[in-house]
Amino acid sequence: MAAADQHSGHEGHHTTTGISHNKLLMWSFLASDCMFFGSLIMMYMVYRPEMTDLGGLGPNDLLDIPFSSLMTFVLLMSSLAFVLGLSSLQRGNEAGMRIWLTTTALLGLLFLGGESFEYMKFYGEGLSIGENIFGTAYFVTTGFHKIHVGIGVIWLLGIVAMSYRGRVPKERSEMVEIAGLYWHFVDIVWIVIFTFIFLVPYR
Amino acid sequence: MAQAVAAREEQLDRWAVIWDWITTSDHKKIGLLYFWTSLAFFFVGGFLALGVRSQLVVPNSAMMSPEVYNQFFTMHALVMIFLALMPMSAAFFNFIIPLQIGARDVAFPRLNSFSYWVYLFGGLLLCSGFLFGAAPDIGWTGYTSLSSSQYTPGMSGDFYVMGLQVLGFSTVAAGLNFFVTIVNMRAPGMSLMRMPAFVWMSLVTFVLILLAFPALAIALFALMMDRNFDTVFFSAADGSVVMWQHLFWIFGHPEVYILILPAFGIISEVLPTFSRKPLFGYSFVVFSGITIAFLGFGVWVHHMFTVGMGPIPNMVFATTTMLIAIPTGVKILNWLATLWGGSIRLTTAMLFAVAFVGMFTIGGISGVMHAAVPIDYWQHDTYFIVAHLHYVLFGGTMFGLIAGIYYWFPKMFGRYMNEAMGKWHFWLTLIGFNLTFFPMHFLGVDGMPRRIYTYPSDFGWELWNLVATIGAYLLGFATLLLVINLIKSIRAGQAAPNDPWDARTLEWTTTSPPQKHNFDRTPQVRARDDFWDQKYNRTGEDAEAEGPEEHIHLPPGSYIPLLVAFGLMLLGAGIIFTLWLSVIGGIILTVGLFAWAFEPND
């Protein structure tokens, strides 16, 4: 489709760039969100050298990399499910879209569940949010990410509910695409967090 | 009987008008709401400034207690920066940008109304600290450990954190909205390099807002967690005290460009119009603006030279800070060259614009002075800094905004402002401003620390403090003239035509004040300064500049943005008072967001 022929999602106005207002809003919001996460992760990285000797309550004692890898896999698979859902809708298969988007949301919930399980485990071992700098930085950084995942899950289920009422036809697939931009972004952020908080060794 | 009915109808009518303003999604009405609200807050900030100056007029003064004094200077800064200057710029963003790019509204009208209401509620939340005798008293920078719960227990620190956090939502929402508006809603033919300079500088401002405000939001979020939920981000024992300063200034330095760039834009409209010449070196003005924004993210450590990070970081950031003077100097040259050889009309707007160039240059030069690390060690936290920042924020931003008021007033209200009174206002402001802030340079190099509550009589600071206070009162009086002029001109000013200044850009093609849908037909843009080109360069069929008639669709008003904004404010207020408020606010916010998503918007 020629870019100039595209119209914005909700009002059919012509736009200068050919990208709809809604989509451009999402892209610029994500740019801004990068800086939100960037500030948090930057703080974490600055505090990282202080985390090696925390008397049994540091990352080397607590982080469970195999388990987190599994959760990371779950979250990445949710992105795959999303792509399949979007592609179903673009081919006019609304029921397929609903199934795949529900799968995406369930995988997101599984991720949240797994991460919450880890929270409980850490807390059980004595790491509270105010215990030391690792507790503070770990819970707040990953917690901020979890809020994002949670909002994404609600958004996806909202789309599924609207689709049941026939309000997400093929022609409005862009609204699903925009939700996807958000969902994939949140996944990518997790890859960064997983790398810098979990994988890179603490020395 | 008939009278009673008539009175009742009039009352109903009044309610309808109020309801219309509350639910409006018209960018011009929202612009006016911003305008009057920011002017009101400007007076609050001015009142606080006079309080500070009155306390300092004589040595060993005990006019107010140190606690109240701390609240006064902290709130003066917060009110002026976040509640007066930025929203005054927002008033012009709202009113002028859609007109200048030939659009009928902003991209997201309801989001726009949300931004305004969050600004109003957040501003009231921040100021309500005074009602509890607990306004923020930690300086506008809120440095830890001073702002940690250990040293500032109680509500005053929470008012700082939550007030600014709520206001941040307003700013980011507006930044997103206007970024999309400028990128996506330009009239056909208006390529990026044909955009008016004000639109360009605003676009750069929005990019800065989107990339800089997150750092403040995260810093405030971490401080909130520290103060209320026992985390240790900024604790001296476990975390890092200096971390706050880094985050704050990564936001704080771009913030000063967020404050000054819109004024740059206004000046770049006013000077060409009243010189009857195109802006000299338009593309240099544009690209130097972009360069300033880019470099603005790489200079934050110059606020922290005395922290003790060592010579290497200090040298690097001293260099980047000096670099940033180059694009700024380019702009000043462009403005001067715009004036050169023009047929200049010294209207009040033009006077303020020319004074802007002079005053901002003084502020810029004193800024480059403390870019040099050794000199900064001497000047750090003295009145020299206070002098510098007021020369750029008042002599720069505020002069620019006042020039904008005089320039766009005929477009906004359909009448001229009184020029004679305007010139009184200008000269009193210029004299009062320099009387107030120039002596602070001397006080600073004499070692008077900023934020000091009082001072002994044998330091030789009495004279300049007295002069500064006299100047401040003069400045306050001059600003009263502005308000009197505004009110009188709205009531009985001389009616203004569509194009009162023989100006250059699209906002002057429509009626004054603009009709609800701005333009009958979407303008077709064929040149930079298109309106000027239309008036003087095009002939015959070439002058057929407007597009075909079209169906005009305007979105209806909505009360939901107000509701969501209120919920957001309660959510923040709950952290200060009791968490139950947060729960109620959260419920209102959630319900409001769903209502927003499903509200028919066509």
| CATH number where A96 lies | 1.20.120.80
How many domains is chain A partitioned into structurally?
1
User: How high is the pLDDT of residue B538?
Assistant: 82
Q: Which residues are CB-contacts of A106 (< 8 A; sequence separation ≥ 6)?
A: none
Q: What share of chain B is helix, strand, coil (3-state, %, to 5)?
A: 70, 0, 25
Q: Choose the closest CB to B232 out of A21, A25, A132.
A: A132
B599 backbone dihedrals φ, ψ, rounded to 5°: -70, 130
Q: Choose the closest CB to A16 out of B177, B184, B210.
A: B184
| pLDDT tops 60 at residue B467 | yes
- Count CB neighbours of B186 within 10 A: 23
Tokens 């006080």 correspond to B443
Q: Please, what is the average pLDDT of chain B? A: 94
Q: Of B358, B362, B355, B367, whose CA–CA distance to B426 is shortest?
A: B355
Q: Choose the closest CB to A46 out of B107, B243, B250.
A: B243
User: How high is the pLDDT of residue A4?
Assistant: 36
Q: Choose the closest CB to B218 out of A40, A47, A136.
A: A40
pLDDT tens digits, chain A, 203 residues: what are they?
A: 333 333 334 445 579 999 999 999 999 999 999 999 999 999 999 999 999 888 889 999 999 999 999 999 999 999 999 999 999 999 999 999 999 999 999 999 999 999 999 999 999 999 999 999 999 999 999 999 999 999 999 999 999 999 999 999 999 999 999 999 999 999 999 999 999 999 999 98
Domain-embedded: residue A4: no
List chain B residues with CB under 8 Å of A135. Answer: 231-232
What average pLDDT does range B322-350 have in this prediction? 96
Report pLDDT digits (tens) over B264-311.
999 999 999 999 999 999 999 999 999 999 999 999 999 999 999 999
Q: How far are the Cα atoms of A9, A110, B21, B170, B204 from residue A25, in angstroms, in the given order? A: 12, 29, 26, 15, 16
User: How high is the pLDDT of residue A106?
Assistant: 98
| pLDDT tops 90 at residue B602 | no
Residue type, A66: P
Structure tokens at A138: 């770990």
User: How high is the pLDDT of residue A2?
Assistant: 33
Cis peptide bond upstream of A79, omega within 30: no
Q: Of B324, B357, B326, whose CA–CA distance to B340 is shortest?
A: B357
Report pLDDT digits (tens) over A46-80.
999 999 888 889 999 999 999 999 999 999 999 99
Whether chain B has a CB inside 8 Å of the CB on A73: the answer is no
Q: Cβ contact (<8 Å) for B215 and A136?
A: no
Q: Of A176, A157, A52, A165, whose CA–CA distance to A109 is shortest?
A: A157
User: How high is the pLDDT of residue B541?
Assistant: 55
Quote the CA–CA distance of B428 and B476 in Å, as a whole number. Answer: 10
Domain-embedded: residue A79: yes
For residues A128 and A169, is the Cβ–Cβ distance under 8 A?
no
Residue A12 CA from chain centroid, whole number: 30
Q: CA-nearest residue of chain A to B593?
A: A155
User: How high is the pLDDT of residue A55?
Assistant: 86
pTM for the model? 0.94
List chain B residues with CB under 8 Å of A24. Answer: 107, 179-180, 183-184
Secondary structure (3-state) at B345 = coil
For residues B402 and B411, is the Cβ–Cβ distance under 8 A?
no
The CA distance from A180 to the nearest CA of chain B, in Å, is 17
User: How high is the pLDDT of residue B21?
Assistant: 92
Q: How far are the Cα atoms of B65, B83, B379, B441, B442 from residue B382, in angstroms, in the given order? A: 21, 25, 6, 9, 10
The residue range of the domain holding A97 is: 25-199
Q: Cβ contact (<8 Å) for B213 and A39?
A: no
Domain-embedded: residue A87: yes
Q: CA-nearest residue of chain B to A158?
A: B594
Q: Of B426, B369, B384, B200, whose CA–CA distance to B292 is shortest?
A: B200
Q: Cβ contact (<8 Å) for A16 and B176?
A: no
Report pLDDT digits (tens) over B389-441.
999 999 999 999 999 999 999 999 999 999 999 999 999 999 999 999 999 99
| pLDDT tops 80 at residue B539 | no
Domain-embedded: residue A13: no
Structure tokens at B545: 């500049």
Q: Cβ contact (<8 Å) for A36 and B597?
A: no
User: How high is the pLDDT of residue B597?
Assistant: 87
Structure tokens at A183: 């969902």
Domain-embedded: residue A12: no
pLDDT band at B387 (very low <50, low <70, confident <90, very high): very high
Domain-embedded: residue A63: yes
Structure tokens at B349: 């707007």
Whether chain B has a CB inside 8 Å of the CB on A43: the answer is yes
Quote the CA–CA distance of B334 and B289 in Å, as a whole number. Answer: 12
Tokens 């409005």 correspond to A172
The CA distance from B335 to the nearest CA of chain A, in Å, is 30
Domain-embedded: residue A91: yes
Q: CA-nearest residue of chain A to B101?
A: A16
For residues B350 and B271, is the Cβ–Cβ distance under 8 A?
yes
Domain-embedded: residue A186: yes
Q: Cβ contact (<8 Å) for B214 and A158?
A: no
Please give the DSSP secondary-structure letter assigned to residue B1.
Answer: -
